[in-house]
Amino acid sequence: MSARKKKREQPSDDSGGFVFSTNPDFSVPSDSDHEHRSSDRQYLEAHVEKKGRNGKQVVLIKGFSCSAIELAQWAKELKQHCGVGGSAKGTDILLQGAVREKATEFLKSKGHSVKRVGG
């Protein structure tokens, strides 16, 4: 039998993760203040690397300017489309295998500009 996890009750006011501020003029930023660039056209670079990976080829997509959650979503979509494993770190997505063409075509279909770098 598996133990069920209890969901924590979220506070009714969304404070954006802020707990305490000593600034008397502090106000919680609203969602309208946050600029979403994920829907904008981004200029990305598709790198191919082998060095330090036991001769196995990987594709690095560099240059994403979005939140970590949006980057993880992009990584998930790319990995599913290409049928490979990978990860998302910082502003980069790493895809295992020689799938640069598939990845660039997918990103171009989503409206991004992708430049091939190396190899």
What is the pTM assigned to this prediction?
0.63
pLDDT band at 15 (very low <50, low <70, confident <90, very high): low
103 burial level (CB within 10 Å; 0-12, 13-18, 19+)? buried
Q: Tell me: the pLDDT tens digits for 79-94?
A: 999 999 999 988 899 9
Q: Are 35 and 106 in contact (CB under 8 A)?
A: no
Domain segments of the chain as ranges = 37-117
Q: Decide if domain 37-117 falls under CATH 2.60.40.10.
A: no
The four Cα atoms 88, 99, 115, 65 give a dihedral, to 10 degrees, of -20
Residue that wins the pLDDT comparison between 7 and 35: 7
Rounded Cα distance between 95 and 57, Å, is 9
Give Cβ neighbours of residue 117 (< 8 Å, ≥ 6 apart).
Answer: 45, 46, 47
